[in-house]
Amino acid sequence: MANIRDNFIKYYFDNKQNEQYPNSLFDYNKIIIDEGHFEAYSYWILMKGDEKEFDKWHKKNERKWSEFINWFSENGMRIDPKNAFHSSQY
């Protein structure tokens, strides 16, 4: 699950799409990847889509989950007028 999202963000930055199509959500996703929390973040974002799958992952990855929650509580995404985005930009 996280691999598709991770590969997209890597492609987006590797191919300089961030320069042509800046997007603060993708910038934030890259920070999460760089910090090593993208797998846990992806499970958190998508957990309501398959709660059983999340529970199974969580049981095997309690340390990753705890580390992500600790990091995220101090590093949540902040949206302000400078980094707001919407579909009409694209």
3-state DSSP call for residue 51?
helix
DSSP state of 21: S
pLDDT 10s digits, 42-85: 999 999 999 999 999 999 999 999 999 999 999 999 888 887 77
Q: What predicted TM-score, i.e. pTM, was given to this entire model?
A: 0.85
**pLDDT tens digit string along 8-20?**
999 999 999 999 9
b/e code 1-15 from CB counts within 10 Å (16+ = b): ebeebbeebeebbee
Token pair recorded at residue 60: 């095997």
